[in-house]
Amino acid sequence: MIESSDFRNARIPLNHGAGHIPVLGFGTLIPDLAVTMNATRDALEAGFRHFDCAERYRNEREVGEALQAGVAAGGIAREDIFVTTKLWNTNHRPERVEPAFEASLERLGLNYLDLYLIHTPFAFQPGDEQDPRDQNGNVIYDSGVTLLDTWRAMESLVDRGKCRAIGLSDISLSELLTIYEAARIKPAVVQVESHPYLPETELLEFCKEKDVVFLAFAPLGHGMRPGPLEDPVILAIAARVGKTSAQVLLAWAVQRGTALLTTPKGADRARENFNISALPEDALDEINRIQTRQRLNDVVKTGSPGFIPRVQST
């Protein structure tokens, strides 16, 4: 349950007493390292306290440096910052999990993580190459490890006290059920693509029932054009309530009970994305009636990140 009617300060409690996750999160999937540092500092200054990273993004060090500089300048305590990073597919074997975790921790310049996620349910060939391919260009998967094997190693990180909570990303409800039922430490967070074109209602209801935080990435449709930002329903509501399309989409996400990640790359956009407020109920109903269905990221099929539009409208 979201605590606070002020979305900017709203938090959701994590299960097994692992603290709270700020509802509004800053995603760090930014290829340019200089932009990463500036955008992270701008997000912190705008008010964001939840930062989502990943080994795969290859910019943990830059995010860490920006956070340390921003925290020092703003007199912010480490305990006020919620930092997530993710285990990449090439490190699913249990003996690789802790070294990968420690390497991310070192790059981020932290002595503990608030949340560690399995980036995708797919295990790739172990090694230093993040995107192992065969001679035909096909991903080389690792059949020698199960997702449950990896989860057991993740649980050990919590036992050691350096990671407060663990979860999964880019996962389907059926895959989540398998882990949830077998887990000694239940997933605290599930991070998946979600927006009005991909509401993932069944997964959201399961998460609510089990006290798992549903964390939506690409809540603005990842900037795809055309996409949710240009949907006539969203545009009409934005004009009616005096907000931008982005603010409408983010408010909808919060009001349906999810945390979210957005990646503003400038100070003005960071302030816009952070300054959201509740929509009237009739606006929520209008958004919920949108019929377009569109998945933007096919990572759930292969484990390889990438935003590929596949539109099916009804």
Catalytic residue among 57, 116, 180, 197: 57
State residue 136's pLDDT score: 94
Any residues with CB less than 8 A from the CB of 114 and at least 6 apart, and which? 18, 19, 21, 82, 83, 84, 164, 165
pLDDT at 3 > cutoff 90: no
**CA-only gyration radius of the chain, Å:** 19
Question: Which comes out higher in pLDDT, residue 4 or 92?
Answer: 92
Residue with the two structure tokens 């209801």: 205
State residue 1's pLDDT score: 53
Each residue's pLDDT tens digit, 60-78: 999 999 999 988 888 899 9
Residues 131, 88: Cα–Cα separation, whole Å: 10
Residues 188, 210: Cα–Cα separation, whole Å: 9
Residues 118, 103: Cα–Cα separation, whole Å: 15
- Classify 273 as helix, strand or coil: helix
DSSP run (H or E) holding 43: helix 33-46
Each residue's pLDDT tens digit, 177-222: 999 999 999 999 999 999 999 999 999 999 999 999 999 999 999 8
Closest CA to 154 of 76, 91, 63: 91
Each residue's pLDDT tens digit, 225-249: 789 999 999 999 999 999 999 999 9
57 assigned to active site: yes
State residue 16's pLDDT score: 84
Closest CA to 16 of 159, 204, 137: 159
What DSSP line would sit under 153-193, residue for residue?
Answer: HHHHHHHHTSBS-EEEES--HHHHHHHHHH-SS--SEEEEE
Average pLDDT of the residues of the chain: 93
Residue with the two structure tokens 């500092």: 41
pLDDT bucket at 306, cuts 50 / 70 / 90: low
State residue 178's pLDDT score: 96
Closest CA to 109 of 48, 165, 37, 46: 37
Whether 107 and 88 have beta carbons less than 8 Å apart is answered as no
72, two tokens: 């020092």
Each residue's pLDDT tens digit, 96-112: 999 999 999 999 999 99
- Compute the residue count for the chain: 314
Residue % of the chain over a pLDDT of 90: 85
